[in-house]
């Protein structure tokens, strides 16, 4: 895994500075990209509408593999410092707090409700796939109450995103029927997506027994031919030994902010997010050519319920693992949609 992800980080960022430690003030030697492993996480997220939902339509599958490493912006190369000055959400406060850089690859699949017909229902969600790679930048404030993130994703929509091969290949493995309408998916189109987000811990409290609670608010904006819109919502966490992070997450741009594991944690969370949808290529169709599409709803809401466990683990450079499951309810996204969607999300993070 390291042999795959670390060269990606090297190519993207060049030399990455050493994570914060107890070294005396003064000039520091240049750090190598391997120093990200002084505090970092590798996360695999799988989302599917069959996880305790039993359906096989609309947002039917998502997979994302991400690497996130901690450094400090004031110790970073001039390239990174210059780039963050272009992003309003990452400006000055980032120089005094933890700073994270990361890379990710992922794929999302979408299908109509009826996948048995060779010609899909033109009034249902079109077949579509999105294959992408992302660069992530995160800044945590010195008091650990605010997380600012920016993520840029580049990829392809259409047959080049390999949706047919992945879905039907997996169906062959589990001896399920093929989805028959992939010939009518969205056409090939390069995709660009910029996401800016801020999360803020509104309050936090913990009893001597270790039981605690916190409330995290989030808001952000997306811009690009893949999605354009605004989103905001709260997340409430209840449990034992809540970590000083911003929670497990779905396959969303920016992702979470996993901190090192110092003690066992177990907590439940409930969240919601409202979205103003200006553009969604998976509903509106291709940007510059005719093709399948439906009439989207401009307002959408998500509701999430989940359980997260964090366990210390000393195995080589590994310092802990995080396991999370959530059930996610999404309101109708287009006019004519028969019922809201439900999908499950399973994630595992290995913390270094």
Question: Does residue 26 fall inside a structural domain?
Answer: no
CA-based nearest residue to 163, from 115, 95, 199, 206: 115
For the chain, where are the E strands, in sequence order?
Answer: 40-48, 58-72, 98-111, 128-140, 146-157, 189-206, 211-224, 227-240, 265-280, 299-315, 318-330, 341-351
Q: pLDDT at residue 13 above 70?
A: no
Confirm whether 242 is domain-assigned.
yes
CA distance 121 to 182: 12
- Give alpha helix (H) positions in 43-199: 78-84, 163-173
Task: Please give the Cα distance from 92 to 116 (Å, whole number).
Answer: 54
Structural domain boundaries enclosing 127: 2-20+32-351
**Structure-token pair, residue 293:** 């599409």
Between the two ends of the chain, the Cα-to-Cα distance in Å is 13
pLDDT score, position 315: 87
Span 129-179, pLDDT tens digits: 999 999 888 888 888 888 888 999 999 999 999 999 999 998 888 878 888
pLDDT value at residue 50: 81
**Given this model, what pLDDT does residue 232 score?**
96
Whole-angstrom distance, CA of residue 347 vs CA of residue 330:
19
The chain-wide mean pLDDT, for the chain, equals 84
pLDDT at 18 over 60: no
- Provide the pLDDT for residue 292: 94
Of 333, 277, 341, 336, the closest CA to residue 303 belongs to: 341
Q: Is 158 part of any domain?
A: yes
Instruction: Please give the Cα distance from 89 to 240 (Å, whole number).
Output: 31
CATH number for the domain that contains residue 119: 2.40.128.140
DSSP string, 6-61: HHHHHHHHSS-PPPP-SPPSS--PPPPGGGGGGSEEEEEEEEETTSSS---SEEEE
Query: Burial of 26 by CB count in 10 Å (0-12 exposed, 13-18 middle, 19+ buried)?
Result: exposed
Compute φ and ψ for 119, nearest 5 degrees. -115, 110
Q: Could you tell me which residue, 58 or 19, shows the higher pLDDT?
A: 58
Indicate the range of 50-64, 212-226, 246-260, 297-311 predicted with least confidence: 246-260
- 91 vs 317, residue with greater confidence: 317
pTM of the predicted protein model: 0.85
What's the alpha-carbon Rg for the chain, to the nearest Å?
Answer: 21
Lowest mean pLDDT among 78-87, 90-99, 203-212, 301-310: 90-99
Angstrom distance (rounded) from CA 222 to CA 208: 41
CA dist., res. 16 & res. 36, Å (int)? 7
Region of poorest pLDDT, from 15-24, 67-76, 96-105, 291-300: 15-24
**By C-alpha distance, which of 308, 185, 304 is closest to 252?**
304
- Indicate if the alpha-carbon torsion angle 232, 129, 192, 1 is positive or negative: positive
Q: Which of 64-73, 248-257, 275-284, 315-324 has the highest mean pLDDT?
A: 275-284
Please report, rounded to a whole number, the percentage of residues in the chain having pLDDT higher than 70.
79
Q: Do the domain assignments include residue 149?
A: yes
Dihedral class, residue 54 (left if φ above 0, else alpha if ψ from -120 to 50, else beta)? left
Per-residue confidence at 293, pLDDT binned at 50, 70, 90? very high
Number of domains in the chain: 1
Question: Phi first, then psi: what are they for 201, rounded to 5°?
Answer: -80, 110
- Mean of pLDDT values over 207-215: 94
pLDDT band at 97 (very low <50, low <70, confident <90, very high): low
Task: Between 252 and 42, name the one with better pLDDT.
Answer: 42
pLDDT score of 336 more than 50: yes
**What residues have CB less than 8 Å from 263, skipping those under 6 apart?**
241, 312
Span 20-59, pLDDT tens digits: 333 344 445 444 555 555 678 899 999 998 887 667 789 9
Residue with more model confidence, 164 or 315:
164
């Amino acid at each position: 895994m390291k042999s795959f992800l670390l060269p990606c980080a090297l190519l993207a960022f060049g030399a990455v500075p050493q994570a914060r430690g107890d070294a005396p003030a003064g000039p520091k030697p240049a750090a190598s990209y391997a120093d990200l492993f002084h505090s970092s996480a590798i996360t695999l997220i799988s989302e599917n509408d069959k996880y305790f939902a039993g359906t096989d339509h609309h947002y039917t599958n998502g997979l994302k593999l991400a690497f996130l490493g901690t450094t400090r912006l004031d110790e970073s190369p001039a390239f990174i410092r210059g780039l963050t000055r272009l992003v309003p959400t990452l400006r000055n406060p980032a120089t005094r707090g933890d700073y994270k850089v990361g890379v990710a690859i992922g794929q999302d699949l979408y299908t109509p409700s009826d996948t048995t017909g060779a010609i899909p229902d033109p009034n249902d969600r079109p077949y579509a796939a999105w294959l992408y790679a992302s660069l992530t930048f995160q800044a945590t404030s010195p008091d650990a109450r605010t997380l600012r993130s920016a993520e840029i994703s580049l990829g392809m929509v259409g047959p080049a995103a390999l949706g047919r091969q992945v879905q039907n290949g997996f169906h062959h493995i589990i001896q399920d029927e093929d989805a028959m309408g992939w010939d009518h998916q969205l056409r090939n189109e390069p995709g660009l997506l910029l996401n800016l987000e801020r999360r803020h811990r509104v309050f936090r409290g913990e009893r001597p027994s270790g039981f605690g609670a916190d409330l995290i608010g989030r808001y952000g904006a997306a811009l690009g031919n893949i999605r354009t819109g605004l989103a905001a919502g709260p997340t409430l966490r209840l449990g034992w030994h809540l970590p000083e992070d911003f929670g497990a997450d779905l396959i969303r741009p920016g992702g979470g902010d996993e901190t090192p594991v110092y003690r066992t944690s177990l907590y439940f969370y409930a969240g919601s997010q409202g979205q103003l949808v200006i553009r969604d290529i998976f509903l509106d169709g291709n940007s510059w050519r005719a093709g399948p599409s439906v009439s989207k709803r401009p307002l959408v809401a998500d509701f999430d319920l989940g359980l997260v466990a964090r366990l210390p683990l000393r195995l080589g450079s590994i310092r802990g693992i995080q396991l999370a499951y959530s059930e996610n309810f999404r309101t109708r996204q287009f006019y004519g949609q028969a019922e809201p969607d439900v999908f499950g999300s399973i994630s595992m993070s290995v913390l270094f």
